[in-house]
């Protein structure tokens, strides 16, 4: 039974989404990446976790050893009628340094690599096109473009980190790269 406190109107419309898409991005510490991708209108949800490795159900301590092969990554669920994968991928490239190998700022290790884990041919094509644009501007892009694999959600204290802690990313600063 649904309890509605007196005076609270029933919602006039419950939103439903006919179609969503999912994307996975790794670019250093997942907190900053999640923060920036959450700001994009049309992004419905995000979660941080681990992907691209060989160990099933890794935890943060295991991933930090660098021996699981996982990257800290962000799962993005979005409404393609409101935002394109290209727009999200551009923000991804503009909120980290895609030229750094296995690091972002003070975070060093393979778990902090720059990598796009694509879900379909279109995502792969868009990622490759954006890398091409950046390389044509003289950047030596280190971002890997890899088929998506199993994604393991990180511990709860990592989810929505900046929302819960009231601050902003320290190593994911917006830098316009596409004009």
Confidence of residue 161 (pLDDT cuts 50, 70, 90): confident
Q: Which domains does the chain have, with CATH numbers?
A: 21-164 (3.30.1060.10)
What was the pLDDT predicted at 61? 96
* pTM of the full structure: 0.87
* Confidence (pLDDT) at 7: 43
pLDDT score recorded for residue 11: 39
29: annotated active-site residue:
yes
CA distances from 48 to 10, 13, 24 (A): 33, 30, 9
Collect all residues with Cβ–Cβ distance below 8 Å to 82 and sequence separation of at least 6.
41, 42
Per-residue pLDDT band for 17 (boundaries 50, 70, 90) equals: low
In the prediction, which pLDDT does 77 show? 98
Q: Indicate if the pLDDT at residue 28 is higher than 60.
A: yes
The yes-or-no verdict on residue 6 having pLDDT over 80 is no
CA distances from 150 to 25, 45, 104, 165 (A): 13, 18, 23, 28
Nearest CA to 70 among 86, 39, 49?
A: 49
Asked if pLDDT for residue 35 goes beyond 50, the answer is yes
Contact 145, 118 (CB under 8 A): yes
Mean pLDDT of 149-160: 93
Q: Give the residue among 151, 158, 149 at the shortest CA–CA distance from 60.
A: 158
Percent of the chain topping pLDDT 90: 78
Give the mean model confidence (pLDDT) for residues 41-66: 97
Output the pLDDT for position 8. 39
According to DSSP, residue 77 is labeled E
103, 69, 94: which is closest to 172 by C-alpha? Answer: 94
List the catalytic residue out of 21, 23, 27, 29. Answer: 29
CA distance 91 to 149: 22
pLDDT digits (tens, 9 = 90+) for 72-124: 999 999 999 999 999 999 999 999 999 999 999 889 999 999 999 999 999 99
């Amino acid at each position: 039974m649904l309890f509605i406190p007196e005076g609270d109107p029933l919602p006039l419309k419950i939103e439903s989404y006919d179609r969503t898409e999912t994307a996975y991005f790794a670019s250093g510490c997942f907190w900053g990446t999640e923060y920036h991708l959450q700001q994009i209108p049309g992004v419905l949800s995000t979660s941080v976790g681990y992907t691209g490795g060989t160990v099933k159900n890794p935890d943060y301590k295991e991933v930090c050893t660098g021996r699981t092969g996982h990257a800290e990554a962000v799962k993005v669920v979005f409404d393609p009628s409101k935002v394109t994968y290209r727009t999200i991928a551009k923000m991804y490239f503009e909120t980290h340094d895609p030229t750094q190998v296995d690091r972002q700022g003070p975070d060093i290790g393979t778990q902090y690599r720059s990598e796009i884990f694509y879900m379909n041919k279109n995502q792969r094509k868009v990622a490759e096109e954006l890398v091409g644009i950046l390389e044509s501007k003289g950047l030596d892009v280190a971002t890997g473009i890899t088929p998506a694999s199993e994604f393991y959600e990180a511990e709860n204290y990592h989810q929505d980190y900046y929302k819960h802690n009231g601050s902003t990313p320290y190593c994911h600063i917006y830098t316009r790269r596409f004009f």
